[in-house]
Chains A and B, each alone.
Chain A
Amino acid sequence: SQQGEEDPQALSIQEGENATMNCSYKTSINNLQWYRQNSGRGLVHLILIRSNEREKHSGRLRVTLDTSKKSSSLLITASRAADTASYFCATTGTASKLTFGTGTRLQVTL
């Protein structure tokens, strides 16, 4: 069963705008990670936030976590065409199992 559900499924913005993607999950987690996937390629780890953290930054990425609402958001500021990709959240709970959501497809146009 899917643990994470991303919203929106698809997002189209212009270069320079900010992109926000949301992830909701169902059960308690130890941490939540965001991954990026270029079309047909492997996933690349972006950022990890632990269950006792509320916000984390990495370059143009900002991740928030609200465990009371079982949700997380990924903000990409000043987006570039090269940010065009699919973005997945993934949660780790019991048994070290990493469970992925269905992803958000981001299209950044010039």
Chain B
Amino acid sequence: EAQVTQNPRYLITVTGKKLTVTCSQNMNHEYMSWYRQDPGLGLRQIYYSMNVEVTDKGDVPEGYKVSRKEKRNFPLILESPSPNQTSLYFCASRDRTEGNTIYFGEGSWLTVV
């Protein structure tokens, strides 16, 4: 079954404590990306990756890091989380062909206190 898996699904953390949200896909997709979803703002892209070792900033990259050492994994790293990073985060992937269906993970609810 085609899947994008994110972990953790729910997390409450404190300001400044580094955390990583993992993302893994089993479809051998080249393209992966991270979005955050906030009320009234829709989904905004944080970072994306066109392939292994290729990453680029999206619309709201500040405060986040990513890495793409393997094709299937695309972790999102918050080095020093702040309360304004409290949000619902989605990982997504698709194959290289533009316009193909994007598959989303189930989301990770992150609260920074």
Contact = CB atoms under 8 A, between A and B. Distances in A.
Q: Do A and B interact?
A: yes
B7 to A, nearest CB: 14
Interface residues on B, range: 20 to 34
Contacts of A97: 45, 48, 58
Contacts of B59: 1, 99
Interface SS of chain B: helix, strand, loop or mixed?
A: strand
A15 to B, nearest CB: 27
Nearest to B48: A97
A103 B45 contact: no
Interface in A23-68: 30-31, 33, 40-45, 48, 50
B77 to A, nearest CB: 21
Nearest to B96: A96
Contacts of A101: 42
B101 interface: yes
A98 B33 CA distance: 10
Interface in B35-62: 35, 40-45, 48, 50, 56, 58-59
A44 B104 CA distance: 7
Contacts of A1: 59
A96 B50 contact: yes
A100 B101 CA distance: 14
Contact of A102 (B42, B88, B102, B107): B42
Instruction: With a 10 A CB-CB cut-off, give which of A48, A92, A98, A99 has the most chain B CB atoms.
Output: A98
Given A30-B98, A31-B99, A96-B50, 18 more contacts: A1-B59, A2-B42, A33-B99, A33-B102, A40-B107, A41-B106, A42-B104, A42-B106, A43-B92, A45-B101, A88-B43, A96-B31, A97-B45, A98-B45, A99-B45, A100-B35, A100-B42, A103-B42
